[in-house]
Amino acid sequence: MAMKMKKTLLVSLILLLSIVILRTHGAGAQEDLVVNSKEKKEVIDSIAKLLKDNYVFPDMGIKLGEYIIAEHKKGDYDKFNDVNKFAAQLTSDLQEVSKDFHLRVIFDPRAAKEQLYPKKFTDEELEAQRNWRLTLGQLQNFGFENVKILDGNIGYLKLTGFFSLENAGPTAVAAMNFLANAFAVIIDLRESGGGNPQMCQFLATYFLGKEPVLLNSIYTRVKDETDQFWSLPYVPGKRMADTDVFLLTSKDTFSAPEGFAYMLQQQKRATVIGETTRGGAHPGETKPVNERFLVWIPMARAIDPISKTNWEGVGVIPDIETTKEQALITAHIEALKKAIEKEKRNNIKAGLEAFLEKISKNKDR
């Protein structure tokens, strides 16, 4: 009930912010939602250049630009006169060719103009923006939606997003310390769709030893630089280097949560259970196309130190494939089996076996 109230409050605040924005930018709210042939060409030519100059794979960037220019010349965009439908069709075409689900075209005149003509914010305005982002994070408990102990001393953590350590660090520490004495840990990523790579690095460190481990690297094309993400030398609380870890995934799991699952899977520190994830491994940023449109361009790529590749376009493939709905009970059963294998105390082992029998019967119903 408390979580539903939080979500309701979050939605209300976002709606309130939307109203404020619309009132502040009244002209933008009434802006013409029709895109004419001249602007279509302008948008397509601009996106083609931006992709050529910035897309993570130069050859694909050129190919994408050439493709939408050719489609435009054939008249394939003539029927899309609504700005949002035009943006959606461009997005669909670009994703179809690239298989890159981060890549997308957006109609947002306010955001486009803010990027084209950046305003110098006062210290008070910047502080207000920081406070607003903090409030949004707090209303979602920084993605840590649920943490509890399941039958058999199996830890469970539901993560809906990976927020910055600056804001979410204390919540993350509290959650991980709560789980520290569990026989196994299940982390639920089935409804997690993005976030901060530093949080992935921080949480992964809890499940590794003190020896540094290279978890992931990110190569950025424009800078021609590679940033490495190593396990951290210190985390507050107890490490769980020998604790069995199970990660729940679905087709909605995307971006940073995929990276978290992929790196622990490759390190042989987690068993992934559920559905193949969506497949987005290319970080990037939004670029203004003109005064009304933007394009989100993947400008970097993750490189796993073990596989030498990533999950882009293919997703993280589960070790145990099952439906989104069956993933938790399947993981619970697997965690209990592992705990029983390790347990030497007969009385505790008997208790774990009783829980396993009960839960297995529930799965079969």
Residue 264 and residue 147 share a domain: yes
8 Å CB contact between 336 and 257: no
pLDDT at 313 over 50: yes
**Banded pLDDT at 320 (limits 50, 70, 90):** very high
Q: What is the pLDDT of residue 16?
A: 44
Q: What is the pLDDT of residue 17?
A: 44
* Residue 142: alpha-carbon gap to chain centroid: 13
Residue 169 and residue 87 share a domain: no
The answer to whether residue 11 sits within a structural domain is no
The answer to whether residue 289 sits within a structural domain is no
8 Å CB contact between 69 and 48: yes
* Structural tokens at position 306: 């073990």
- The CA distance from 297 to 285, in Å, is 6
pLDDT at 288 over 90: yes
3-12, 20-29, 267-276, 311-320, range with the lowest pLDDT: 20-29
- CATH number for the domain that contains residue 244: 3.90.226.10
Residue 153 and residue 81 share a domain: no
8 Å CB contact between 112 and 63: no
Residue 259 and residue 166 share a domain: yes
Residue 331 and residue 249 share a domain: yes
The answer to whether residue 287 sits within a structural domain is no
Residue 222 and residue 350 share a domain: yes
The pLDDT tens digits for 86-99 are: 999 999 999 999 99
**Banded pLDDT at 31 (limits 50, 70, 90):** low
Please compute the mean of the pLDDT values over residues 154-176 and round it to a whole number: 96
What percentage of the chain reaches a pLDDT higher than 90? 86
pLDDT at 354 over 90: yes
Q: What is the pLDDT of residue 33?
A: 93
Q: Which domain holds residue 174?
A: 141-281+298-364
- Residue ending a domain, among 69, 98, 127, is 98
Please compute the mean of the pLDDT values over residues 265-271 and round it to a whole number: 98
pLDDT at 270 over 60: yes
Residue 223 and residue 90 share a domain: no
The answer to whether residue 107 sits within a structural domain is no
The answer to whether residue 178 sits within a structural domain is yes
8 Å CB contact between 106 and 294: yes
The count of domains in the chain is 2
Residue 83 and residue 156 share a domain: no
Bridge partner list, 219: 226, 301
The answer to whether residue 151 sits within a structural domain is yes
Please compute the mean of the pLDDT values over residues 332-342 and round it to a whole number: 98
The pLDDT tens digits for 297-309 are: 999 999 999 999 9
The pLDDT tens digits for 114-150 are: 999 998 889 998 899 899 989 999 999 999 999 999 9
The answer to whether residue 329 sits within a structural domain is yes
pTM assigned to the model:
0.86
**Banded pLDDT at 363 (limits 50, 70, 90):** confident
Residue 146 and residue 91 share a domain: no
Residue 149 and residue 90 share a domain: no
- Residue ending a domain, among 43, 76, 98, is 98
Work out the mean pLDDT of the chain and round it to a whole number. 91
- The CA distance from 137 to 302, in Å, is 26
Q: What is the pLDDT of residue 194?
A: 83
The answer to whether residue 116 sits within a structural domain is no
Q: What is the pLDDT of residue 330?
A: 98
Residue 219 and residue 343 share a domain: yes
Q: What is the pLDDT of residue 2?
A: 43
Residue 62 and residue 149 share a domain: no
- The CA distance from 69 to 13, in Å, is 41
**Banded pLDDT at 5 (limits 50, 70, 90):** very low
User: Coil, strand or helix: which one is 288?
Assistant: strand
The tokens 């109609």 sit on which residue? Answer: 107
